């Protein structure tokens, strides 16, 4: 099956947010900061601590949210030429082919270490930091989307 891919900035930013939030170390850090913020808010409300720890936890929480929700996705979007390019993707039983004006590249499905699906994209991972986003709205119909999902599910062995 062949699809033509072009990215929309708001969708890519949302997909990059999913990428960051899905990382176990970031999830752990967010939970830890949220617990610290809630604990300091509770202790401050009962006047058991001074305002400084509450202010510190609030600033830490706010800066973390800005970093993972706004700054990092925007930075990666600006630096990546892939998101500004148009190309065609061919999905076959054994390979994924990408063709741009500059050239062609193919990957066997075994070269991907993992994949997961979000509302707008398939995230195809080469390793924990390198990935390819395949937008779902590039597929012509739901049957093609389902076929691609089945190929990925059966061909990408999670390591």
CATH number for 109: 2.30.29.30
Question: Which of the listed residues 79, 111, 136 is the one where a domain comes to its end?
Answer: 79
Quick check: 54 pLDDT over 90?
A: no
Asked if 57 and 93 sit in the same domain, the reply is no
Question: Which of the listed residues 79, 99, 118 is the one where a domain comes to its end?
Answer: 79
Q: What's the mean pLDDT in 9-33?
A: 91
**Confidence band of 159 (pLDDT split at 50, 70, 90):** low
Question: Which of the listed residues 79, 99, 131 is the one where a domain comes to its end?
Answer: 79
This prediction has a pTM of: 0.83
Specify the long-range contacts of residues 131-139, CB closer than 8 Å, at least 24 apart. Answer: 131/19, 133/7, 133/12, 133/15, 133/83, 134/5, 134/89, 135/5, 135/7, 135/8, 135/11, 137/11, 138/3, 138/4, 138/5, 138/6, 138/89, 139/3
Domain that residue 19 falls in: 9-79
**Confidence band of 33 (pLDDT split at 50, 70, 90):** confident
pLDDT tens per residue, range 63-79: 988 998 999 999 999 99
């Amino acid at each position: 099956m062949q699809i033509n891919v072009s990215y929309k900035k708001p969708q890519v930013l949302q997909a990059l947010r999913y990428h960051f939030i899905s990382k176990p170390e970031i999830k752990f850090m967010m939970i830890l900061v949220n617990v610290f913020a809630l604990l300091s808010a509770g202790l401050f409300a009962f006047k058991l601590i001074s305002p400084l720890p509450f202010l510190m936890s609030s600033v830490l929480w706010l800066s973390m949210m800005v970093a993972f929700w706004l700054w990092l996705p925007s930075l990666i979007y600006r630096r990546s030429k892939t998101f500004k390019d148009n190309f065609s993707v061919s999905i076959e039983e054994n390979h994924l082919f990408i063709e741009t004006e500059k050239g062609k590249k193919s990957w066997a499905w075994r070269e991907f270490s993992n994949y997961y699906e979000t509302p707008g994209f398939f995230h195809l991972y080469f390793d924990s930091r390198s990935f390819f986003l395949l937008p779902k709205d590039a597929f012509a119909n739901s049957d093609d989307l389902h076929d691609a999902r089945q190929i990925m599910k059966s061909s990408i062995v999670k390591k």
